Amino acid sequence: MRRLKLDRFTGVVSAGKEARVYRAIGRDGKEYAVKIYLTATAEFRKSIQKYLLGDPRFQRIDTSSTKKLFMAWARKEYRNLLKMSSVGVRVPKPYLVYQNIVVMEFIGRQGYRAPLLHEIYNELDSEELYSIYEIMVEEYKKIYCCAGLVHADYSEYNIMYLDGEIYIIDVAQAVSTSHPNYLDFLKHDIGNIYRFFTKQAKLKIQNLENLMKEIIGCKIVCPKK
């Protein structure tokens, strides 16, 4: 934390059962999002283990220790952000992980976080929504085909929208494509895309089977690492 020279925290921008995200200002005036995992309910402990235990990157995690579990979860989010950003996925830029804290780029303007897609889709016209649909599909191709990951919670609740661009957040649960259940997570994510844009956004898009084929077909040029 000292390395980033954070000057002050200005308030909570997002609060959930297990974590809070704060907006912080650096001594140079730069904005940061500081995510702090706070509690571990029995339900949360059980839910995150299915994303950790099958991931070869985290095989030796001591899941009996709440503290170690949260530290691993924060580290997993940071590593997933690094992996995705390295192949051009639009995620907040990660800066630091320390114990149960992840520091990343603040996505927003004038001290306010960018809205989530589910909060503002009713304000957008069909052309804007279709553009978001195309971007979300292309970003998922990068996640799957280039980063070798599956988001595992890809939905309108984890997509920020600002100035015509999307930003993918909450990536701690993302798993490697070597995870034994990656295909189930992948199908769930693609199903979420299809559900949202056909049911909520009321768009006419390709059917679910073709959408699945398009994403796993990996007809995309990945950046050289």
Catalytic site residues? 153, 170
Give how far Cα 140 sits from Cα of 114, 137, 172, 209, Å. 20, 5, 16, 16
Distance of CA 77 to the CA centre of its chain: 8
Q: What six digits make up the tokens of 171?
A: 């990536």
Q: What six digits make up the tokens of 111?
A: 């001290």
- Say which amino acid occupies 32: Y
Please count the other Cβ atoms lying within 10 Å of the Cβ belonging to residue 204.
8
Q: Which helix (H) or strand (E) holds 138?
A: helix 126-141
Distance of CA 76 to the CA centre of its chain: 11
